[in-house]
Amino acid sequence: MNMFDRHDQIVRALSERAFVSVAHAVQLTGGSPATIRRDFTKLTADGIARRVRSGIRTVESVGMTPFAMREVQYSKEKEALAQKAAALLKAGDTVFIDGGTTTFHLGACLPKLPLRVITNSLRLAVLIDSPPRRNPHLEIFLTGGCLYPNSGLLVGPGAHGSLAQYHANWAFLSVGGITAEGLFNTTEQVVETERRMIANADKVALLADPGKIGRHAMCHVCPLDGVDLLITNHTPSTAAILRQFEEAGMQVVIV
């Protein structure tokens, strides 16, 4: 197993258990104890974990959870949402895509059409431009801004000023939570960027896995009427609140 696959397995285990020992990681990945200790050192340096005796633990933080930790949560569900969102696009569309982990999956399934993608996510831009997915008919526009730690996101006045110059047919967003009160996210910097995308797009589509439905986060992004379309996964536990969203006028697409 190569380093990237080992890290993926370790981070997945960390997201489920909050602690991963050297012994457990050896069993999980087949790597030697020395290799696993080097992996732990790298994950710690990247801000994904913290070293403790005999292993690593999740990072306690009041800010944004590191991207790699969020990306593995509901990963299959997020991929299905992204595929559904990609099917909405047509040739010539200009789209805003924010830097969430759900919308990150959208970069892997964009159709091979003439498109313009405007994003504040360095990770997403690199993914879209990688050789297996490169589309010669697609243009990528990155905002300016300050790089937010552990996220690959460009935020702040530079990002806001860049977004103010553009208009898009679609804005694809992921959030920290959505309730009858509206959309929520974890940090003020991210929220302000999403508000700019919403204001400058013809239509707004929200991609939200079941873990986001009915959940609040620290910062309010906008009321429900700021979103045209919610794409989410089928699960009985969210059926009642999704009906509330539909009654409020939001179109809900169940994957």
Taking the C-alpha atoms of residue 13 and residue 169, their distance in angstroms, rounded to an integer, is 39
Report the pLDDT value the prediction gives residue 225, as an integer from 0 to 100: 94
Q: Give the C-alpha separation, 190 to 95, whole Å.
A: 18
- The answer to whether 139 and 115 are in contact (CB under 8 A) is yes
Q: Between the CA of residue 154 and those of 84, 142, 194, 197, 252, what are the distances in Å?
A: 26, 9, 12, 14, 29
Helix or strand run (H / E) with residue 60 = none
Backbone angles phi, psi at 150, to 5 degrees: 60, 20
Q: What is the pLDDT of residue 66?
A: 54
For domain 70-254, say whether CATH 3.40.50.1360 is its number: yes
Which single residue is written with the structure tokens 């593995």?
72
R_g of the chain computed on alpha carbons: 19
**pLDDT score recorded for residue 11:** 78
CA angle 166, 106, 158 (to 5 degrees): 35
Q: Averaged in consecutive runs of 10 residues, what is the pLDDT profile of the chain (255 residues)? A: 78 75 92 93 81 82 50 69 96 95 90 96 91 89 89 91 96 94 89 95 95 87 95 92 94 95
Which pLDDT value is given to residue 240?
94
Query: What's the pTM value of the predicted model, to 2 decimals?
Result: 0.74
CA distances in angstroms from 144 to 132, 154, 165, listed in the order given: 26, 7, 12
Query: What residue ranges do the domains of the chain occupy?
Result: 3-60, 70-254
Residue 65's pLDDT is what?
Answer: 52
Q: Which residues contact 146 (CB under 8 A, 6 or more apart)?
A: 154, 155, 156, 158, 159
Q: Output the CA torsion 212→216→219→220 (10° steps).
A: 90
Amino acid at 205: A
| Residue partners of 61: CB distance under 8 A and separation at least 6 | none
In sequence order, the 6+-apart residues with CB closer than 8 A to the CB of 53 are none
> What distance in Å separates the CA atoms of residue 237 and residue 251, rounded to the nearest whole number?
19
**Lookup: tokens for 128:** 């879209």
Pick the CATH number of 3-60 from 1.10.150.110, 3.90.1300.10, 3.10.105.10, 1.10.10.10: 1.10.10.10
